[in-house]
Every structure is written in structure tokens, then in C-alpha cells.
Amino acid sequence: MARRLGRQFYDSDHEIEARTGVRIPVIFEHEGEDGFRQREAQTIDELTQRSGIVLATGGGAVLRAENRENIKSRGTVVYLRANPHDLWLRTRRDKNRPLLQTADPRARLEQLFQERDALYRECATFVIETGRPSVNALVNMVLMQLEMAGIVPSNTEVSHEVSDTAEGARAETHDVAHDVAHDVTGQAGGSDGDPAQAGREEAPQATPAAPAPDTLSR
């Protein structure tokens, strides 16, 4: 998505890891979830003040009101909504998600989904039901919604050459697989590539949420 729009891509989790020099689970181990959330809030506050970017946030970012306010007021937010079963399929082999390192990660995903879905919707300019389409199909769906809303130019190239492993095509996060993203999100598949596997290719359904006051100034 970032490549198609000519924007720079950031992932808040990757930024935190780059700045600390350690992986997310190590931060959780030494600072706990509260320590990580503080780092996350500082990173998101900084990144959402930048112009011309696509930002993927961690799944738990919406837990803090300041994060919700920053992403809503500073950009256009696309919530790529997936059901807990699909989230489990995407994350079941991922050891870099501290909140899913439990005896029953599937039940944990169900719990996280129930806790966070309403918060994601609160932030979202658009809600897109992802299913399990290809990365390219989902990128095209997001672009179509943004173009129809006049958020990006209608002449944005609809290419079919987006790599299934592009950095701007990540739907999962370190602790739960559905995200909210600042500006225009390029999240359409996980870092493990699961959503790019052969599967349902039908177009996902998009549902506009309450209009946001911004017009993609960043």
C-alpha cells in the first residue's frame, strides 16, 4: 500500500524494536506490558505527527485513549477486521507475540477480540472484513474505498504486481492479528505470509465507519 501511494511505511512494533535493540518479548520480560505500552504510546505519538506515511500499529495500541485520539485525529484509519479463527491460523506458529504464549492461544485470541473490536471500530474511518484474500486483492479493496471517499486521487494505479511479502502488507501485530492503522494502512497479510496462501479470493466487504474529520493530510 505504501509503495502504491508513494509513501513511507512504518510499523510501530518494528520501530520500538529498532530503537531498543531487542525484540518485543524481551521488552515484555523486563518491563512488563505496562512498560511496553508506554514505549508504544511515545512511538505512535511521534509517528502520527509525520507527513506522507503509512503506519501499521500493534493490536493493543487501541487500549490507550491517547493512542486512539492520536490515530483518529491525525490520519485516516482502516480497520482490517478478521475473525478469531483466521487470526489463530495466522498467528499459531508466531513466537513473537507475548500475549499469545499461553496454553490456549485460540481462547486468548477470542478474549482479545471481544475486548478490542469495539475500540478498533471507535477509531476506524473504514472497517474492511478481510477474510483470507490475497494481499493484492485486499490492497485494491482498501484503495477503492479511499478513492471513493476522495481521500486519495482516483487515478491511483491499480497494479497487480504488489509483492505478497511487502513490508506495507502486514495485518497481524505482536499480540493480536488485527490492527488499526494511521493514515492509509497497507496491512493486508501477516509477517508469516499466511493470508497470501491460496484461499478465498473473493473481494472482502468494506463498511464505512463514522466519517473522520481529516482528509489525509499525512
Residues annotated in the binding site, as ranges?
Answer: 13, 37, 59, 97, 116
DSSP H stretches of helix in the chain: 2-5, 12-20, 24-47, 65-74, 84-91, 105-123, 135-148
Q: Tell me the binding residues for ATP.
A: 97
Q: How far apart are CA 72 and CA 163, in angstroms?
A: 28
Q: Strand 78-81's sheet: what is its strand order?
A: 8-11, 53-56, 180-183, 78-81, 126-129, 206-208
Cell of 51: 507527513
Q: Tell me the binding residues for substrate.
A: 13, 37, 59, 116
